[in-house]
Amino acid sequence: MSQVNYKELPELIPQAIIDRVKKLSPAQLCDGMESLGIERNGCMDAGLMSLDGNKILVGTACTVDTEDGDNFPIHVAIYQGKPGYVLVVAGKGYTERCYLGDLMASAAEAVGFNGIVIDGCVRDKEGLAQLSIPVYAKGIMQRSPSKRGPGEINTVVTCAGVKVTPGDLVIGDYDGVTVVPRDRIEEVLAAAEKKDAYEAKRRVTIAQYAKCRQNNEPLPELAPSWVTEMINSIK
C-alpha cells in the first residue's frame, strides 16, 4: 500500500431501502443471501463482536484498508466522512495494537457515521460504551495505534472474511455484522422479507401449540412441512 489511493464516498443507499432493512435482522438477511447463493451469505467472522449489543448498526459502507495497527487512514476517512455511512476498516485481524479508541469514535459520531466495524482491536471500552455509535471489533487492546499511512479509502476490501465494496449495505446487531452487495439489495430484501413472514407464521403456530398443550386440548401439527417432507424422503 505504498501508493495513495483515497477515493470519494459512494452514493448513500436510499432511505426507503434503509427503512425496509431496519425491519429485518442480520440473520434474516443472511438467510436471504443463502437462498440466493451469495458467498458466505454476507456474514462477517464470528469473532467480530459488538461492544454493546443494544446498538443497531445500519448504513452505507465507507471502507478503509490498513494493517499493523496503523490508524492514519482511519483518521482521514472520519474527517472526510458524512452522515449515513458505516466505517468498515479492513485491519487484517491485527491484534497487537488497537486501531481506535473513544476519541476517534466520538469524532465519527460527531460527523454522523452510523457505526464502526473494525477487523482488529479497539480500546477505551468504557468510553466507547457511553457513545451512541455502534462499534464492532475483534477485541480490546490498550496499546496505541501506529501512524504511518497512507492506506486506502473507499476501495474494495476484505473485512472479517467478507468482501466489502464501498456503497454496500452494512447491518449489525447482537448476532454480528452482515454485508449485502449493493447490486443485489432488492433481491436480498425480498428473500429476507419472505423469511420474516415465514418466521411470523411459525411463532403463531408455536404459540397455538403451547396454548393447546396447557389447556389439554388436541395438539395441532408443530413441525413445519419441510421437516415432515425431509423425514419422508429419508425413510
Residues 134 and 216 in one domain: no
Q: Note the pLDDT of residue 3.
A: 55
Please indicate, yes or no, whether residues 147 and 214 belong to a single structural domain of this protein.
no
Range of the domain at 218: 198-234
Q: Which of 169, 189, 209 corresponds to the end of one domain? A: 189
Domain count, the chain: 2
Which amino acid, one-letter code, is at 207? A
Low-confidence ranges of the chain (pLDDT < 50): 1-2
Q: Is there a single domain that holds both residue 181 and residue 204?
A: no
Query: 161, 138 in Cβ contact below 8 A?
Result: no
What is residue 2's predicted lDDT score, i.e. its pLDDT? 44
Same domain? For 97 and 79 the reply is: yes
CATH for 32: 3.50.30.40
What cell was used for 205? Answer: 403456530
Widest Cα–Cα separation across the chain = 73
Question: Does residue 226 sit in the same domain as residue 155?
Answer: no
Distance CA 39, CA 54 (A): 28
- Measured CA to CA, the distance from residue 216 to residue 211 in angstroms comes to 9
CA count, 13 A, side-chain hemisphere, 114: 20
pLDDT of 53 reads 82
- Hey, what's the cell of 234? 429419508
Give the per-residue pLDDT at 221: 94
Is 154 found in the same domain as 216?
A: no
Q: Are strands 57-65 and 139-140 parallel, antiparallel or unpaired?
A: unpaired
Same domain (yes/no): 148, 225: no
- Tens digits of residue pLDDT in 181-222: 999 999 999 999 999 999 999 999 999 999 999 999 999 999
Per-residue model confidence (pLDDT) at position 1: 40
Q: How far is it, in rounded angstroms, from Cα 213 to Cα 216?
A: 5
Q: What is the pLDDT of residue 150?
A: 92
